Amino acid sequence: MNRPEKVLVEKHDITTRGDAPPGMEGAFQRGWRNLMTSGGRTSESSPDYLRITLLNLVQGTAIVVWSLFLVLMLAGLVEFSWGRVLIDTTGLLIAFGVILGLRRGIPVSLAVHITHAFLFLCLLGLSFVRADNPLTMTLPLIYPALAFLLLDDIRRGLAGTLMMTAGLNILLSSGLGPELRDSAVLLDGAVTITVVMVFQAAVMALYVHHRKQAISMLRAVSVQLNELASHDPLTGLYNRRTFVEVIERELARRDNDVRQLAFLLFDIDRFKAYNDHFGHPQGDELLKRLAVTAKRVFSRGEDVVFRLGGEEFGVVFQTESPEQAADMADQLLAAVEAMGEPAPAGPNATLSVSAGLYLVKKGHETSANRIYNRADQALYRAKEAGRARWFHATP
């Protein structure tokens, strides 16, 4: 009989040249990482990593900018205005609110909509309020990149860019903007702003589109790899590695379930003789049919059927009583014989299986290996007693 293998994950400490060990990392680097990841809420492998770090970067910058404006105004270096005090204070409150909210777990989409709306209004509003300053007109040019990265949506990014472009052109054509010499210069300014905004939007739209495609492909590959890592490729059943994980999970929560955890280990009687007589392709087909039969008997959503190796299978299930578990074992043996597959070397005319049933006692310390070994010993006793039967495992 095959014994369960222990799945070992070997950890390697890989550091690139120039990387400092964690203990030598400066307080600034730790603080910066803490800010960008919202206190560890996200990581590089998280789908929202880019948006969360960008939100923290934008709002962190906003805190610096709004604070600087307030200091300059209170110091008398720029003209004092209660309206600007209100705007700067509101900006600070929103920035702090978004940063703290992300750390406390608010939805990323809510933080994105708040940040985007305030960013749009501030950039466009500042262009109108300070329309006499030509440099102010350049600030909205940063909008397309931030909008596409924050919203992660091409249609909404394009809509916001077109609205910002229209607002800037209205500002120029209305005469509220910087004083321009003639209509030719006005037209040149409008065309320049429009081309720059549309070009940025096109570049960012391409980036978002291909980024989403790449993420979709990576997710599909990840699903396939997880499937290969956890399933037997021939039968589609869970494999031995997953068996250990499922047993450990069920053991961790068994005291919360009034039912008893059970494990049924079974394999095909004289499968080598079957393979020698009918050939390995026919043997593979038999394994697939047996997997279907086992899943038909153990059909509850919580029942988990495994192929543990070769002709060996297992089932982890919950039982209301020892009698119910015994009945399930009887049903499986009967269902296999009902397949009607010929058995060249016996013990019966039709193919059969032998099994060992182990019932996990509550409050009893055990492990996946111990459970398997006890069921394996019972399976051997069933083989020695003539096959085509099952035995209870000793605790």
Q: What is the pLDDT along the chain (395 residues), one digit of tens a residue?
A: 444 443 333 344 434 444 445 554 578 888 899 999 999 899 888 888 999 999 999 999 999 999 998 999 888 888 888 888 888 899 999 999 999 999 999 999 999 999 999 999 988 888 877 766 777 778 889 999 999 999 999 999 999 999 999 988 888 777 665 565 567 777 887 898 899 999 999 999 999 999 999 988 988 888 888 888 889 999 999 999 899 999 999 998 887 888 999 999 999 999 999 999 999 999 999 999 999 999 999 999 899 999 999 999 999 999 999 999 999 999 999 999 999 999 998 888 999 999 999 999 887 888 999 999 999 999 999 999 999 999 999 87
Q: Is residue 12 part of a domain?
A: no
Same domain? For 182 and 271 the reply is: no
Q: Is residue 10 part of a domain?
A: no
Gap between the terminal Cα atoms of the chain: 20
Question: What distance in Å separates the CA atoms of residue 194 and residue 126, rounded to the nearest whole number?
Answer: 18
Same domain? For 215 and 246 the reply is: no
Q: Give pTM, 2 decimals.
A: 0.59
For residue 268, the surrounding DSSP H or E stretch is strand 260-268
Last residue of a domain, one of 166, 192, 222: 222
User: For the residues of 188-226, what is the DSSP string, one character each?
Assistant: HHHHHHHHHHHHHHHHHHHHHHHHHHHHHHHHHHHHHHH
Same domain? For 159 and 128 the reply is: yes
Do residues 187 and 193 lie in contact, with contact meaning Cβ atoms separated by under 8 Å? no
CATH number reported for the structural domain that contains residue 370 in this entry: 3.30.70.270
What is the residue range of 78's domain? 27-222
Which residues have a Cβ under 8 Å from the Cβ of 51 and sit 6 or more positions away? 108, 112, 149, 150, 152
In the chain, the number of structural domains is 2
Same domain? For 188 and 259 the reply is: no
3-state helix, strand, coil in the chain (%, to 5): 60, 10, 30
Torsion angle, alpha carbons of 198, 202, 207, 208, to 10? 80
Question: What six digits make up the tokens of 391?
Answer: 């035995």
Same domain? For 257 and 218 the reply is: no
Last residue of a domain, one of 159, 189, 222: 222
Q: Is 17 left (phi over 0), alpha (psi -120 to 50) or beta?
A: beta
Same domain? For 178 and 101 the reply is: yes
Q: Is residue 5 part of a domain?
A: no
Same domain? For 299 and 333 the reply is: yes
Last residue of a domain, one of 222, 252, 285: 222
Q: Is residue 232 part of a domain?
A: no
Which residues have a Cβ under 8 Å from the Cβ of 295 and sit 6 or more positions away? 237, 305
Question: What distance in Å separates the CA atoms of residue 71 and residue 85, rounded to the nearest whole number?
Answer: 10
Same domain? For 112 and 218 the reply is: yes
Strand-pairing partners, residue 260, are: 319
Same domain? For 133 and 275 the reply is: no
Question: What distance in Å separates the CA atoms of residue 303 and residue 272, rounded to the nearest whole number?
Answer: 28
Same domain? For 73 and 205 the reply is: yes
Question: What six digits make up the tokens of 233?
Answer: 């490729």
Do residues 12 and 6 lie in contact, with contact meaning Cβ atoms separated by under 8 Å? no
Which residue reads 């890592």 in tokens?
Answer: 229
Question: What distance in Å separates the CA atoms of residue 198 and residue 200, rounded to the nearest whole number?
Answer: 5
Q: Is residue 6 part of a domain?
A: no
Reference 232, options 156, 304, 148, 183; nearest CA is 304
Reference 32, options 53, 1, 59; nearest CA is 53
- 35 three-class SS: helix
